[in-house]
């Protein structure tokens, strides 16, 4: 099993904090997000780790990781960056991690131990964290609904009530080659412009609607967080 970290984007919402470095090199408690991710992945037994680079590539290429580069990082979205690693995705099961999050090895292990072709981790206790970050948790929340078998029935839409958010998608996923094949097939039905702009949750929602692959939702109640603003850094350091 392998892992791919998606680190091509700049993270423009961090403003001046990412003028000189990619967002994944921002530090919490004197340790970069990227280093935390690598530790958690290796702690779960994954030694083959790749990083998809783009913005400030030169700061990421000398870290002992296999590199996939997205030269069009400023014009494309996250799924296009992930497609740069199709060599691995077509060949083996891959854990896929956003680069602006942190989590423990247990989150990775929960994905490793599952057998679904496509799976995501989620935080069932998301409400307190989102309230701390945004005041009104619905300001930045997306729908996340599951069926009775813990497979996703909806993700990534704008919720009108808390009841439509049964958990918080974390940005940590698992693809088998079969699961990735379904993503490739979906992208082939889109125009080049649509394909370039498609974000991850939008892709997952289209897969749900197509009914070509069931997406398993795996709860995770350990430490984790995502970084979208300077406020987040202060919040997680305080916690």
Element of type H or E holding 153? strand 152-155
Task: For tokens 């083959």, name the residue.
Answer: 48
- Local structure of 232: helix, strand or coil: helix
Q: How far is CA 193 from the centre of its chain?
A: 22
pLDDT at residue 239, rounded to an integer: 63
- The neighbouring-strand residues paired with 88 are none
Residue 6 gets the label, from left (phi > 0), alpha (psi -120 to 50) or beta, of beta
- Local structure of 110: helix, strand or coil: helix
CA distance 31 to 35: 7
pLDDT at residue 103, rounded to an integer: 96
Q: What is the CA radius of gyration of the chain?
A: 17
pLDDT at residue 224, rounded to an integer: 94
Structure token digits, residue 16: 């001046």
Burial of 239 (0-12, 13-18, 19+ CB in 10 A): exposed
Can you list the domains of the chain with their CATH numbers?
2-238 (3.90.550.10)
- Listing DSSP states for 7-39 in one string gives --S--GGGGGGGSSS-GGG-EETTEEHHHHHHH
CA distance 173 to 155: 14
What's the CA dihedral at 71, 61, 102, 76 to 10 degrees? 0
Residue 216 in contact with residue 151, Cβ under 8 Å? yes
Distance separating the N- and C-terminal Cα atoms of the chain: 33
Q: Please report, in tens digits, the pLDDT of each residue of the chain (239 residues total).
A: 999 999 999 876 677 778 889 999 988 888 999 999 999 999 999 999 999 999 999 999 888 899 999 999 999 999 999 999 999 999 999 999 999 999 999 999 999 999 999 999 999 999 998 998 889 999 999 999 999 999 999 999 999 999 999 999 999 999 999 999 999 999 999 999 999 999 999 999 999 999 989 999 999 999 999 988 777 877 877 66
Residue 174 in contact with residue 93, Cβ under 8 Å? yes
**Residue 160 CB: number of other CB atoms within 10 A?**
9
């Amino acid at each position: 099993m392998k892992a791919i970290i998606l680190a091509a984007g700049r993270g423009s919402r961090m403003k001046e904090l990412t003028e000189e470095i990619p967002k994944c090199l921002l530090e919490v408690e004197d340790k970069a997000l990227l280093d935390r991710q690598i530790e958690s992945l290796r702690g779960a037994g994954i030694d083959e780790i790749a990083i998809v680079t783009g913005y400030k590539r030169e700061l990421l290429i000398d870290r002992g990781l296999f590199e996939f580069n997205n030269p069009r990082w400023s014009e494309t979205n996250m799924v296009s960056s992930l497609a740069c690693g199709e060599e691995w995705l077509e060949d083996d099961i891959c854990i896929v991690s956003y680069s602006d999050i942190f989590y423990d090895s247990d989150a990775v292990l929960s994905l490793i131990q599952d057998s679904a072709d496509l799976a995501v981790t989620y935080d069932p206790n998301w409400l307190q964290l989102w309230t701390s970050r945004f005041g009104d948790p619905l300001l930045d929340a997306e729908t996340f609904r599951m069926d009775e078998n813990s497979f996703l029935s909806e993700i990534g839409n704008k919720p009108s009530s808390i009841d439509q958010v049964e958990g918080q998608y974390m940005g940590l996923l698992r693809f088998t080659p079969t699961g990735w094949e379904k993503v490739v097939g979906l992208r082939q039905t889109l125009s080049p412009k649509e394909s370039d702009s498609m974000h991850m949750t939008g892709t997952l929602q289209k897969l749900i609607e197509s009914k070509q692959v069931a997406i398993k939702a795996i709860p995770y109640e350990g430490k984790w967080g995502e970084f979208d603003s300077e406020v987040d850094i202060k919040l997680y350091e305080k916690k």
